[in-house]
Amino acid sequence: MSTQPIIKICGIKTPEILEAAIYAGADMVGFAHFPRSPRHVDIETIADLISQARGRVETCVLLVNPDNSAVAEIAALGPDWLQLHGPETPHRVEAIRAEAGISIMKALPVGSTEDLAQLPAFLDVADRILLDAKPPKGADRPGGLGVPFDWSLLKALDPAIAFMLSGGLTPDTVAEAIQRVQPFGIDVSSGVETAPGEKDARLIAAFIRNARMAAAA
């Protein structure tokens, strides 16, 4: 690959892990504001983490189907990105972007070719697309489940569409993902954890190192 993919470490909860991600060379860091997630952090903590990261790494706050008050509350903290990880429609994504005045990353769950058919409708209303593994039926949250999807489905996509890849990536699989899929960026959460919500600095460093080596090969 000629260009290095954007690397995002998502689901960060502590100042120590934020420092580890920055030190290891992450391009973006993500904070989840979604109570059902083991990676959930409250508004006060997100405010502190954004302040710690400002000017050093891009920040992104993950929300799931937020109402206007939640959007306004997060936007006031000044993150670089809002990540919408719920069933938001293109119209709702456009409205949130207008309300927040912040770049929007829209996550789309992929489990079949049909799931990719919705992607073009989001290209004009989101600033970046994140393709994640579709959760199994009955799952209580839309992401961070540690399972990859069938990357061969992406061969049907228009190669001009830039997207970030998520879903079950680990330090052991990220090189193959970059070489096979050649995404604009990669996003990891559970793949650098020792238990749900518990990030590991060594796994983060290994993930970023392996990704950079694969992209440079």
The catalytic site residues sit at: 10, 132
Strands 6-9 and 58-63: unpaired
Helices (H), the chain: 15-24, 43-53, 68-75, 90-100, 113-116, 174-181, 201-216
CA separation for the pair 215, 16 (Å, rounded)? 27
